[in-house]
A = this chain, B = another copy of it.
Amino acid sequence: MSDYIISESASAASVGLVELRTIDFESLALDSGLTLAPVTIAYETYGRLNEQRDNAILILHALSGDAHAAGYYEGETRLGWWETMIGPGKGFDTNRCFVMCSNVIGGCKGSTGPNSINPETGREYGLDFPVVTVGDMVRAQKMLIDHLGIARLLCVTGGSMGGMQALQWAVAYPENVASCIPIAATPKHSAMQIAFNEVGRQAIMGDANWNGGNYYQGDPPDAGLAVARMIGHITYLSDESMHERFGRRLRNKKALGYDFTLDFEVESYLRHQGELFTRRFDANTYLYITKALDYFDLSDERGVLVETFRDLPADMRFLLIAFSSDWLYPPYQSKEIVRALKGNGLDCSYLEMRSSFGHDAFLLENKDMTRVVWHFMESTARINGVKLG
Protein backbone atom coordinates (compact mmCIF):
# COMPACT_ATOMS: atom_id res chain seq x y z
CA MET A 1 0.00 0.00 0.00
CA SER A 2 1.07 3.52 -0.65
CA ASP A 3 1.76 5.97 2.08
CA TYR A 4 0.17 8.83 0.19
CA ILE A 5 -2.31 10.76 2.26
CA ILE A 6 -5.78 11.39 0.85
CA SER A 7 -6.60 15.08 0.85
CA GLU A 8 -9.11 15.93 3.51
CA SER A 9 -10.63 18.63 1.36
CA ALA A 10 -11.11 19.31 -2.32
CA SER A 11 -9.68 22.76 -1.84
CA ALA A 12 -6.52 21.27 -0.38
CA ALA A 13 -4.94 20.72 -3.75
CA SER A 14 -5.70 21.26 -7.39
CA VAL A 15 -4.11 20.11 -10.60
CA GLY A 16 -3.74 23.85 -11.17
CA LEU A 17 -3.42 25.38 -14.60
CA VAL A 18 -4.82 23.20 -17.37
CA GLU A 19 -5.34 23.52 -21.08
CA LEU A 20 -8.04 22.33 -23.45
CA ARG A 21 -6.48 20.46 -26.38
CA THR A 22 -8.08 19.20 -29.54
CA ILE A 23 -7.28 16.36 -31.86
CA ASP A 24 -8.73 15.81 -35.32
CA PHE A 25 -9.68 12.51 -36.88
CA GLU A 26 -10.79 11.75 -40.38
CA SER A 27 -14.09 10.13 -39.53
CA LEU A 28 -16.16 8.19 -37.05
CA ALA A 29 -18.51 5.34 -37.93
CA LEU A 30 -21.79 5.76 -36.05
CA ASP A 31 -24.29 3.23 -34.68
CA SER A 32 -26.90 4.71 -37.02
CA GLY A 33 -24.88 3.52 -40.01
CA LEU A 34 -23.88 7.06 -40.89
CA THR A 35 -20.36 8.44 -40.78
CA LEU A 36 -19.31 11.68 -39.13
CA ALA A 37 -16.39 13.34 -40.89
CA PRO A 38 -14.21 15.04 -39.90
CA VAL A 39 -14.21 14.64 -36.12
CA THR A 40 -12.59 16.87 -33.56
CA ILE A 41 -12.25 15.74 -29.96
CA ALA A 42 -11.53 18.26 -27.23
CA TYR A 43 -9.80 16.88 -24.16
CA GLU A 44 -7.76 17.67 -21.09
CA THR A 45 -5.19 15.64 -19.18
CA TYR A 46 -3.92 15.89 -15.64
CA GLY A 47 -0.96 14.15 -14.00
CA ARG A 48 1.73 12.21 -15.79
CA LEU A 49 1.52 9.08 -17.92
CA ASN A 50 4.04 6.55 -16.58
CA GLU A 51 6.62 4.83 -18.78
CA GLN A 52 4.52 1.71 -19.15
CA ARG A 53 1.61 3.96 -20.20
CA ASP A 54 -0.68 1.94 -17.95
CA ASN A 55 -1.67 4.41 -15.21
CA ALA A 56 -4.33 6.22 -17.26
CA ILE A 57 -7.84 6.95 -15.98
CA LEU A 58 -10.52 8.09 -18.39
CA ILE A 59 -13.14 10.38 -16.87
CA LEU A 60 -16.50 10.54 -18.69
CA HIS A 61 -18.78 13.52 -18.31
CA ALA A 62 -22.53 13.87 -17.80
CA LEU A 63 -25.20 15.64 -19.88
CA SER A 64 -24.10 19.20 -19.24
CA GLY A 65 -20.42 18.48 -18.53
CA ASP A 66 -17.37 18.98 -20.71
CA ALA A 67 -13.68 18.10 -20.92
CA HIS A 68 -12.83 20.57 -18.15
CA ALA A 69 -13.00 18.13 -15.24
CA ALA A 70 -10.28 19.60 -13.00
CA GLY A 71 -8.02 22.63 -12.54
CA TYR A 72 -8.52 26.02 -14.12
CA TYR A 73 -7.70 27.79 -17.36
CA GLU A 74 -5.21 30.63 -17.62
CA GLY A 75 -6.83 33.88 -16.54
CA GLU A 76 -9.90 32.09 -15.14
CA THR A 77 -10.84 30.87 -11.71
CA ARG A 78 -13.62 28.42 -12.57
CA LEU A 79 -12.58 24.96 -11.42
CA GLY A 80 -13.36 21.75 -13.32
CA TRP A 81 -16.66 19.99 -12.73
CA TRP A 82 -15.07 17.11 -10.77
CA GLU A 83 -12.46 19.10 -8.91
CA THR A 84 -13.54 17.29 -5.74
CA MET A 85 -12.47 13.91 -7.12
CA ILE A 86 -9.49 14.68 -9.38
CA GLY A 87 -6.20 16.10 -8.11
CA PRO A 88 -3.16 15.43 -5.94
CA GLY A 89 -4.15 13.03 -3.17
CA LYS A 90 -7.80 12.94 -4.27
CA GLY A 91 -9.87 9.91 -5.31
CA PHE A 92 -8.41 10.01 -8.80
CA ASP A 93 -4.97 10.90 -7.62
CA THR A 94 -3.00 12.93 -10.15
CA ASN A 95 0.20 12.34 -8.15
CA ARG A 96 -0.11 8.71 -9.13
CA CYS A 97 -2.28 8.51 -12.23
CA PHE A 98 -2.67 10.12 -15.61
CA VAL A 99 -6.22 11.42 -15.81
CA MET A 100 -8.03 12.36 -19.04
CA CYS A 101 -11.42 13.78 -19.88
CA SER A 102 -12.87 14.59 -23.30
CA ASN A 103 -15.97 16.37 -24.49
CA VAL A 104 -18.44 13.90 -26.01
CA ILE A 105 -19.26 13.75 -29.67
CA GLY A 106 -22.44 15.79 -30.15
CA GLY A 107 -21.28 18.20 -27.44
CA CYS A 108 -20.73 21.93 -27.69
CA LYS A 109 -17.47 22.34 -25.81
CA GLY A 110 -14.87 21.70 -28.47
CA SER A 111 -15.78 18.28 -29.81
CA THR A 112 -17.73 17.98 -33.05
CA GLY A 113 -21.41 18.59 -32.47
CA PRO A 114 -24.47 20.21 -34.02
CA ASN A 115 -22.94 23.68 -33.66
CA SER A 116 -19.83 22.63 -35.62
CA ILE A 117 -19.47 23.55 -39.27
CA ASN A 118 -20.84 20.95 -41.66
CA PRO A 119 -18.19 20.67 -44.39
CA GLU A 120 -20.88 19.86 -46.93
CA THR A 121 -22.69 23.18 -46.45
CA GLY A 122 -20.11 25.46 -44.83
CA ARG A 123 -22.67 26.24 -42.10
CA GLU A 124 -23.46 24.82 -38.69
CA TYR A 125 -24.91 21.32 -38.83
CA GLY A 126 -28.02 22.04 -36.77
CA LEU A 127 -30.36 19.07 -37.20
CA ASP A 128 -28.26 17.77 -40.09
CA PHE A 129 -25.91 16.50 -37.44
CA PRO A 130 -26.39 12.73 -37.18
CA VAL A 131 -27.99 11.28 -34.07
CA VAL A 132 -25.20 9.85 -31.93
CA THR A 133 -25.27 7.23 -29.19
CA VAL A 134 -23.33 6.51 -26.03
CA GLY A 135 -21.65 3.83 -28.14
CA ASP A 136 -20.53 6.49 -30.62
CA MET A 137 -19.22 8.71 -27.81
CA VAL A 138 -17.12 5.82 -26.52
CA ARG A 139 -15.91 4.88 -30.01
CA ALA A 140 -14.64 8.43 -30.42
CA GLN A 141 -12.86 8.23 -27.05
CA LYS A 142 -11.22 5.00 -28.16
CA MET A 143 -9.68 6.87 -31.10
CA LEU A 144 -8.39 9.43 -28.60
CA ILE A 145 -6.69 6.92 -26.30
CA ASP A 146 -5.26 5.05 -29.30
CA HIS A 147 -3.80 8.34 -30.45
CA LEU A 148 -2.33 8.94 -26.98
CA GLY A 149 -0.72 5.49 -27.14
CA ILE A 150 -2.66 4.02 -24.24
CA ALA A 151 -3.44 0.36 -24.79
CA ARG A 152 -5.27 -0.34 -21.54
CA LEU A 153 -7.04 2.08 -19.22
CA LEU A 154 -6.51 1.53 -15.53
CA CYS A 155 -10.03 2.84 -15.02
CA VAL A 156 -13.03 4.27 -16.85
CA THR A 157 -15.38 6.26 -14.65
CA GLY A 158 -18.03 8.94 -14.47
CA GLY A 159 -21.38 9.81 -12.97
CA SER A 160 -24.80 9.74 -14.64
CA MET A 161 -24.20 9.66 -18.42
CA GLY A 162 -20.52 9.35 -17.49
CA GLY A 163 -21.34 6.12 -15.70
CA MET A 164 -23.19 4.86 -18.74
CA GLN A 165 -20.18 5.61 -20.93
CA ALA A 166 -17.98 3.77 -18.42
CA LEU A 167 -20.22 0.69 -18.70
CA GLN A 168 -20.23 1.00 -22.49
CA TRP A 169 -16.42 1.11 -22.42
CA ALA A 170 -16.27 -2.12 -20.40
CA VAL A 171 -18.61 -3.88 -22.80
CA ALA A 172 -17.29 -2.47 -26.09
CA TYR A 173 -13.56 -2.63 -25.30
CA PRO A 174 -13.12 -5.24 -22.59
CA GLU A 175 -9.43 -5.79 -23.41
CA ASN A 176 -8.70 -2.10 -22.97
CA VAL A 177 -10.24 -1.62 -19.53
CA ALA A 178 -8.80 -2.84 -16.22
CA SER A 179 -11.54 -1.38 -14.04
CA CYS A 180 -14.80 0.52 -14.23
CA ILE A 181 -16.49 2.82 -11.70
CA PRO A 182 -20.03 3.75 -12.86
CA ILE A 183 -21.59 6.23 -10.45
CA ALA A 184 -25.32 7.06 -10.22
CA ALA A 185 -25.83 5.25 -13.52
CA THR A 186 -28.34 2.90 -15.10
CA PRO A 187 -28.13 -0.08 -17.45
CA LYS A 188 -30.82 1.55 -19.60
CA HIS A 189 -32.90 4.68 -19.60
CA SER A 190 -36.27 4.04 -18.00
CA ALA A 191 -39.62 5.40 -19.18
CA MET A 192 -39.45 8.14 -16.55
CA GLN A 193 -35.95 9.14 -17.56
CA ILE A 194 -37.01 9.26 -21.22
CA ALA A 195 -40.08 11.26 -20.21
CA PHE A 196 -38.13 13.99 -18.43
CA ASN A 197 -35.74 14.24 -21.37
CA GLU A 198 -38.60 14.40 -23.85
CA VAL A 199 -40.20 17.30 -21.98
CA GLY A 200 -36.87 19.14 -22.08
CA ARG A 201 -36.65 18.54 -25.81
CA GLN A 202 -40.23 19.71 -26.33
CA ALA A 203 -39.45 22.89 -24.38
CA ILE A 204 -36.57 23.61 -26.77
CA MET A 205 -38.32 22.56 -29.98
CA GLY A 206 -41.45 24.48 -28.93
CA ASP A 207 -39.47 27.72 -28.65
CA ALA A 208 -40.18 29.72 -31.81
CA ASN A 209 -36.49 30.72 -31.92
CA TRP A 210 -35.45 27.10 -32.29
CA ASN A 211 -36.55 27.24 -35.91
CA GLY A 212 -35.97 23.59 -36.73
CA GLY A 213 -32.47 23.81 -35.27
CA ASN A 214 -31.34 26.63 -37.56
CA TYR A 215 -30.81 29.43 -35.08
CA TYR A 216 -27.08 29.97 -35.25
CA GLN A 217 -27.47 33.14 -37.32
CA GLY A 218 -30.23 34.53 -35.09
CA ASP A 219 -31.55 34.46 -31.55
CA PRO A 220 -31.13 31.04 -29.93
CA PRO A 221 -34.04 29.29 -28.17
CA ASP A 222 -32.95 30.50 -24.75
CA ALA A 223 -36.40 30.38 -23.14
CA GLY A 224 -36.88 26.76 -24.13
CA LEU A 225 -33.36 25.73 -23.15
CA ALA A 226 -33.77 27.46 -19.77
CA VAL A 227 -36.97 25.52 -19.11
CA ALA A 228 -35.25 22.27 -20.09
CA ARG A 229 -32.43 23.05 -17.67
CA MET A 230 -34.86 23.95 -14.88
CA ILE A 231 -36.65 20.61 -15.26
CA GLY A 232 -33.29 18.88 -15.20
CA HIS A 233 -32.22 20.76 -12.11
CA ILE A 234 -35.22 19.65 -10.12
CA THR A 235 -34.52 16.04 -11.03
CA TYR A 236 -30.90 16.39 -9.91
CA LEU A 237 -31.96 17.48 -6.42
CA SER A 238 -34.23 15.81 -3.90
CA ASP A 239 -37.36 16.79 -1.99
CA GLU A 240 -35.25 16.77 1.17
CA SER A 241 -32.34 18.81 -0.16
CA MET A 242 -34.68 21.38 -1.68
CA HIS A 243 -36.51 21.62 1.62
CA GLU A 244 -33.25 22.13 3.51
CA ARG A 245 -31.85 24.58 1.00
CA PHE A 246 -34.92 26.65 0.14
CA GLY A 247 -37.96 25.57 2.12
CA ARG A 248 -40.63 28.23 1.61
CA ARG A 249 -38.25 31.14 2.16
CA LEU A 250 -39.26 34.27 0.31
CA ARG A 251 -36.92 36.13 -1.99
CA ASN A 252 -36.37 39.78 -1.08
CA LYS A 253 -39.88 40.02 0.26
CA LYS A 254 -41.45 40.22 3.65
CA ALA A 255 -44.72 38.78 2.40
CA LEU A 256 -46.23 37.07 -0.63
CA GLY A 257 -46.27 39.41 -3.61
CA TYR A 258 -49.65 38.45 -5.09
CA ASP A 259 -48.16 38.78 -8.56
CA PHE A 260 -46.05 36.72 -10.96
CA THR A 261 -42.67 38.15 -10.11
CA LEU A 262 -40.50 36.03 -7.84
CA ASP A 263 -41.93 35.05 -4.48
CA PHE A 264 -39.84 32.12 -3.33
CA GLU A 265 -36.09 31.60 -3.25
CA VAL A 266 -36.44 28.30 -5.05
CA GLU A 267 -38.04 30.12 -7.99
CA SER A 268 -35.18 32.58 -8.11
CA TYR A 269 -32.65 29.76 -7.96
CA LEU A 270 -34.26 27.88 -10.83
CA ARG A 271 -34.63 30.90 -13.08
CA HIS A 272 -31.00 31.81 -12.41
CA GLN A 273 -29.82 28.29 -13.21
CA GLY A 274 -31.84 28.29 -16.41
CA GLU A 275 -30.46 31.63 -17.48
CA LEU A 276 -26.84 30.72 -16.68
CA PHE A 277 -27.16 27.54 -18.71
CA THR A 278 -28.23 29.37 -21.86
CA ARG A 279 -24.94 31.31 -21.75
CA ARG A 280 -22.82 28.18 -21.86
CA PHE A 281 -24.74 25.49 -23.65
CA ASP A 282 -26.08 24.85 -27.14
CA ALA A 283 -29.76 23.92 -27.35
CA ASN A 284 -29.24 21.44 -30.18
CA THR A 285 -26.55 19.67 -28.17
CA TYR A 286 -29.16 19.31 -25.41
CA LEU A 287 -31.41 17.54 -27.91
CA TYR A 288 -28.67 15.23 -29.18
CA ILE A 289 -27.25 14.25 -25.82
CA THR A 290 -30.63 13.58 -24.23
CA LYS A 291 -31.44 11.41 -27.25
CA ALA A 292 -28.22 9.47 -26.77
CA LEU A 293 -29.18 8.92 -23.13
CA ASP A 294 -32.66 7.73 -24.05
CA TYR A 295 -31.24 5.30 -26.61
CA PHE A 296 -28.88 3.82 -24.03
CA ASP A 297 -29.76 0.21 -23.25
CA LEU A 298 -27.08 -2.32 -22.36
CA SER A 299 -29.45 -5.27 -22.22
CA ASP A 300 -29.76 -7.65 -25.12
CA GLU A 301 -32.66 -7.83 -27.58
CA ARG A 302 -34.65 -9.89 -25.08
CA GLY A 303 -34.09 -7.21 -22.42
CA VAL A 304 -31.67 -9.39 -20.46
CA LEU A 305 -28.65 -7.65 -18.96
CA VAL A 306 -26.66 -10.57 -17.59
CA GLU A 307 -25.78 -11.78 -21.09
CA THR A 308 -24.20 -8.44 -21.94
CA PHE A 309 -21.40 -9.02 -19.46
CA ARG A 310 -20.81 -12.66 -20.36
CA ASP A 311 -17.58 -12.18 -22.28
CA LEU A 312 -15.93 -9.67 -19.96
CA PRO A 313 -12.49 -10.80 -18.79
CA ALA A 314 -12.51 -12.38 -15.33
CA ASP A 315 -10.00 -9.84 -14.01
CA MET A 316 -12.04 -6.73 -14.87
CA ARG A 317 -12.96 -4.97 -11.62
CA PHE A 318 -16.10 -2.96 -10.95
CA LEU A 319 -17.07 -0.47 -8.27
CA LEU A 320 -20.69 0.70 -8.51
CA ILE A 321 -21.73 3.76 -6.48
CA ALA A 322 -25.28 5.04 -5.98
CA PHE A 323 -26.91 7.58 -3.65
CA SER A 324 -29.87 6.91 -1.41
CA SER A 325 -31.84 10.06 -2.34
CA ASP A 326 -31.14 9.88 -6.09
CA TRP A 327 -34.62 9.39 -7.57
CA LEU A 328 -33.57 10.15 -11.16
CA TYR A 329 -31.02 7.30 -11.28
CA PRO A 330 -32.16 5.40 -8.21
CA PRO A 331 -29.98 2.82 -6.44
CA TYR A 332 -32.13 -0.03 -7.76
CA GLN A 333 -30.75 0.67 -11.23
CA SER A 334 -27.15 0.36 -10.03
CA LYS A 335 -28.12 -2.82 -8.22
CA GLU A 336 -29.43 -4.26 -11.49
CA ILE A 337 -25.95 -3.81 -12.91
CA VAL A 338 -24.37 -5.34 -9.81
CA ARG A 339 -26.60 -8.40 -10.06
CA ALA A 340 -25.82 -8.87 -13.74
CA LEU A 341 -22.07 -8.54 -13.12
CA LYS A 342 -22.15 -10.95 -10.19
CA GLY A 343 -24.24 -13.29 -12.31
CA ASN A 344 -21.12 -13.61 -14.44
CA GLY A 345 -18.84 -14.11 -11.45
CA LEU A 346 -17.19 -10.72 -11.97
CA ASP A 347 -15.41 -8.77 -9.25
CA CYS A 348 -17.93 -6.11 -8.32
CA SER A 349 -18.24 -3.91 -5.24
CA TYR A 350 -21.33 -1.83 -4.56
CA LEU A 351 -21.41 1.29 -2.44
CA GLU A 352 -24.77 2.89 -1.67
CA MET A 353 -24.13 6.18 0.06
CA ARG A 354 -26.61 7.85 2.35
CA SER A 355 -27.08 11.36 1.05
CA SER A 356 -29.89 13.88 0.88
CA PHE A 357 -28.48 15.59 -2.22
CA GLY A 358 -30.19 13.48 -4.86
CA HIS A 359 -28.52 12.77 -8.19
CA ASP A 360 -26.21 15.76 -7.82
CA ALA A 361 -24.49 13.98 -4.92
CA PHE A 362 -21.94 12.48 -7.31
CA LEU A 363 -20.60 15.96 -8.04
CA LEU A 364 -20.28 17.03 -4.43
CA GLU A 365 -17.37 16.60 -2.12
CA ASN A 366 -17.69 13.29 -0.31
CA LYS A 367 -14.84 12.02 1.83
CA ASP A 368 -16.17 8.48 1.94
CA MET A 369 -16.46 8.27 -1.83
CA THR A 370 -12.97 9.79 -2.18
CA ARG A 371 -11.49 7.26 0.23
CA VAL A 372 -13.20 4.25 -1.34
CA VAL A 373 -12.25 5.30 -4.86
CA TRP A 374 -8.64 6.05 -3.90
CA HIS A 375 -8.22 2.59 -2.34
CA PHE A 376 -10.02 0.92 -5.23
CA MET A 377 -7.54 2.54 -7.62
CA GLU A 378 -4.60 1.45 -5.45
CA SER A 379 -5.76 -2.14 -5.28
CA THR A 380 -6.57 -2.20 -8.99
CA ALA A 381 -3.05 -1.00 -9.75
CA ARG A 382 -1.53 -3.60 -7.41
CA ILE A 383 -3.55 -6.47 -8.85
CA ASN A 384 -2.62 -5.42 -12.38
CA GLY A 385 1.04 -4.88 -11.55
CA VAL A 386 0.76 -1.22 -12.45
CA LYS A 387 3.39 1.04 -10.91
CA LEU A 388 1.65 4.26 -10.02
CA GLY A 389 3.58 7.52 -10.27
Contacts and interface: CB of A to CB of B under 8 A. Distances in A.
Interface in A187-213: 188-192, 194-196, 198-199, 201-203, 205-208
Contact of A234 (B127, B196, B242, B270): B196
Interface stretch (A4-12, A255-263, A375-383): A255-263
Nearest to A200: B227
A194 B271 contact: no
A130 interface: yes
For the side of the interface on A, what is the size category? 35 or more
A198 B242 CA distance: 14
A186 to B, nearest CB: 11
Interface string A235-251: 00111001101111000
Contact of A127 (B198, B205, B260): B260
How many copies of the polypeptide does the oligomer hold?
A: 2
A307 interface: no
Contact of A266 (B198, B243, B266, B327): B198
B202 A264 contact: no
A259 B294 CA distance: 12
Contact of A191 (B188, B246, B259): B246
Interface of A: 31-32, 34, 127, 130-131, 188-192, 194-196, 198-199, 201-203, 205-208, 223-224, 226-227, 230-231, 234, 237-239, 242-243, 245-248, 256, 258-260, 263-264, 266-267, 270-271, 274, 287, 291, 294-295, 297, 327, 330
